[in-house]
Structure formats: C-alpha cells, structure tokens
C-alpha cells in the first residue's frame, strides 16, 4: 500500500478494481451513496467503524488501512498550523516517553 495516497484514493481504486458500485458498498456500510462518494473524494472523513468494515468488504489489510486512516486524522489536526511538523516530532518524543513510563510499571 502506497502511504502517500489518501484513504479515499485507496478505497476508490480498490472498489473499482473489484467492479463494485458505490451503491453496493454503501449498502453494506448502511449509509447513503452520497457519503461514500464524499469519503472517496476526501470531502468527508470516514468513521473508524466504516474503515474497518471497508477493509473487510474490499479485502484490504485492516491494520494498514487503519494506520492510513489514523495518520490522515493526525494530519488533519495540524493542516493549518505552521508549527505542525514540529508538533508531530514532539508528539513522537512524548509518545516514546509515555511508553517508557508504562513499560516500567
């Protein structure tokens, strides 16, 4: 999986590869086709539950898709921030620190 593709691009490509219509997939997700269309064009965010279902429906690796989804949410959080990439690095360092603490107890 190419991590530089948006989750929408990944979903649309795989859906088309499988010859499925928006209507087929959105029915399984139990949402209107409009939303799925928007998710595929990155106009809306999916929920975590939808991502997990989509991995099943489209035979995509759940963990990979989830990582892609989470990374996109992270990027969304800092998209308009000039200090975004600094914040990302600090978040990683803090994450390590927290994990170290937790592994001690």
Partner DNA sequence: AATCTATTTGACTAACTTTGTCAAGTTAAT
Partner DNA sequence: ATTAACTTGACAAAGTTAGTCAAATAGATT
Structure tokens at 29: 């997700």
3-state SS, residue 66: helix
Cβ–Cβ < 8 Å for 10, 68: yes
Q: What is the dihedral of CA 20, 70, 60, 62, to 10 degrees?
A: -130
Q: Where are the alpha helices (DSSP H) in 1-105?
A: 7-17, 22-29, 33-40, 48-58, 62-78, 84-104
Residues at the interface with DNA (CB under 7 A) = 16, 21-23, 30-35, 37-38, 40-41, 43-45, 47, 50
Binding partner selected for residue 47 from DNA, a copy of itself, none, CB under the kind-specific 5 to 8 Å limit: DNA
Q: What is the binding site for a copy of itself (CB under 8 A)?
A: 3-4, 63, 66-68, 70-75, 77-78, 81, 83-95, 97-99
- In the complex, minimum distance from the CB of residue 76 to a copy of itself, in angstroms, rounded to a whole number: 9
Contacted by 34, from a copy of itself, DNA, none: CB < 5 to 8 Å by type: DNA
The entry of DNA, a copy of itself, none that residue 93 binds, CB within 5 to 8 Å by partner kind? a copy of itself
């Amino acid at each position: 999986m190419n991590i530089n593709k948006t989750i929408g691009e990944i979903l649309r490509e795989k859906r088309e590869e499988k010859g499925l219509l928006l209507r087929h997939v959105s029915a399984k997700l139990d949402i209107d086709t409009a939303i799925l269309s928007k998710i595929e064009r990155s106009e809306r965010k999916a929920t975590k539950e939808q991502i997990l279902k989509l991995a099943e429906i489209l035979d995509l690796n759940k963990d990979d898709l989830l990582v892609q989804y989470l990374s996109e949410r992270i990027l969304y959080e800092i998209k308009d921030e000039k200090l975004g990439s600094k914040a990302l690095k600090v978040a990683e360092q803090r994450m390590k620190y927290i994990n170290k603490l937790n592994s001690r107890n």
